[in-house]
Amino acid sequence: MLRTKKLVTLVVLLGMASLAFGDQITLKNGDHLTGKVVKSDGKTLVLHTEFAGDVTVKFDAITQITTEEELHITTSDKKALVGTVTTRDGRIEVATKSGGTVEVPPGDVALIRNDAEQAAYDKTLHPGLLHGWNGGVNVGFSLARGNSKTSNLALAINAVHPTLNDKTTIYLISIDTKNDLATPSTVANLVTGGLRYDHNLNPRVFGFVGADFMSNALQNLDLRGVYGGGVGYHAIKSDATVLDFLAGVNYTHETYSNGAEILPPTVPPTFVSYGVTHRFIALTLGEELMHKAGKSTVITERLYFFPDMSNTGEYRGTFDLGTVTKISKWLGWQNQFTDIYVSNPPAGAKKNDLILTTGLNFSFTH
């Protein structure tokens, strides 16, 4: 019996000792939570507990906070404070090393981060060129045999390198369709790629420069290079939705093949292709949307219009609509619809190309 009482006493003392260590949170309903404060956005607070993992509570439901380790506090007026946190008379007190104790009304708290969260945030502000890339690789493949002998491979790479004030985007898309029972065997071959650099001029306005390249066998396009820049406006910019409008000017250089190769009267004979080359200045008018639909699906949409400034009435347009749904941290399912329109393709080529691809997405960031 004596041993049992000693064991119970020891368990109680150990429990009380564990409560004495760690951050303490008291809620309006009287509940007490013990753990480590991870972060807060002023609306909710995340507390990491030993047995329940991360627990999220409403910030305005908290009546008292006491922390052992220093936290990084950002107020609504952008003031940064670092120190241990306690509450007194409904106000948050931050015990800083340099400025003493600073009182902050709970409603003025914009962000709270522990050391690990702050270090991760600081790293995103100025990541090295080889770090901080987001995006992924999309792969789709189909194969048919029997009455047909076709194969289709769709490959897309999207990489974004964001920092606090700028963003670099690189992309590459390749679609190759072959029918070995047809002549020629290649039915469709589309390759497009490019890069763009955005720099924030203020929280809403940004400038951009970029270059885009395309080769499209469906329209007899050997190569199109588009070099331009302009300004953009963040109409909506939140964690869930980003809507941008862009306007600028570009220089376009494009070469079309216009028919089969011909044999010139040369000795020895050589085969050459004949076609047409366009060089012109055009406007760049665009709209881009990114929306997170729930926790696992991201919807992207882009619409661009390029009117030729030298030949009024001639223009080019592109439309893209895609979704990526996460299956795991690194694997997802992607769908992409693309519409490519040219008002003045060479003779024999259609103005409009519609492309639908689906397949797997392999994410860079987990």
Per-residue pLDDT, 10: 43
Residue 177 has pLDDT above 60, yes or no: yes
Which of the given ranges, 83-87, 96-100, 141-145, 184-188, has the highest pLDDT on average? 83-87
204 — pLDDT class (breaks 50, 70, 90) = very high
- pLDDT tens figures, 241-277: 999 999 999 999 998 876 555 555 555 555 555 578 8
Per-residue pLDDT, 178: 79
Per-residue pLDDT, 35: 92
- pLDDT tens figures, 310-358: 888 899 999 999 999 999 988 999 999 999 999 988 777 788 888 888 8
C-alpha–C-alpha distance, residues 231 and 248, integer Å: 6
Amino acid at 130: L
Average of per-residue pLDDT values in the chain: 84
Per-residue pLDDT, 165: 85
Main-chain phi, psi angles of 5, to 5 degrees: -65, -40
Per-residue pLDDT, 301: 97
The length of the chain, given as a count of residues: 366
Residue 126 has pLDDT above 60, yes or no: yes
- pLDDT tens figures, 268-278: 555 555 578 88
Residue 120, C-beta contacts closer than 8 angstroms, at least 6 positions apart: none
C-alpha–C-alpha distance, residues 126 and 115, integer Å: 17
Main-chain phi, psi angles of 161, to 5 degrees: -120, 90
Q: Which residue has the higher pLDDT, 172 or 348?
A: 172
C-alpha–C-alpha distance, residues 338 and 302, integer Å: 10
SS3 125: helix
State whether CATH 2.40.160.40 applies to domain 134-363: yes
Residue 17 has pLDDT above 60, yes or no: no
Q: What is the mean pLDDT of residues 33-41?
A: 91
- pLDDT tens figures, 115-125: 988 887 777 66
Amino acid at 192: T
Task: Tell me how far CA of residue 182 lies from CA of 177, 216, 253, 287, 299, in angstroms.
Answer: 12, 19, 32, 39, 37
Q: Which residue has the higher pLDDT, 98 or 20?
A: 98
Per-residue pLDDT, 130: 67
Q: What is the mean pLDDT of residues 10-31?
A: 64
Q: What is the mean pLDDT of residues 61-74?
A: 91
Residue 97 has pLDDT above 50, yes or no: yes
Q: What is the mean pLDDT of residues 199-222?
A: 91
Residue 19 has pLDDT above 60, yes or no: no
Q: Where in the chain is the domain with CATH 2.40.160.40?
A: 134-363
78 — pLDDT class (breaks 50, 70, 90) = confident
Q: What is the mean pLDDT of residues 16-27?
A: 67
Question: What's the predicted TM-score (pTM) here?
Answer: 0.67
Residue 2 has pLDDT above 50, yes or no: no
Q: What is the mean pLDDT of residues 76-93?
A: 87
Per-residue DSSP letter, 358: E
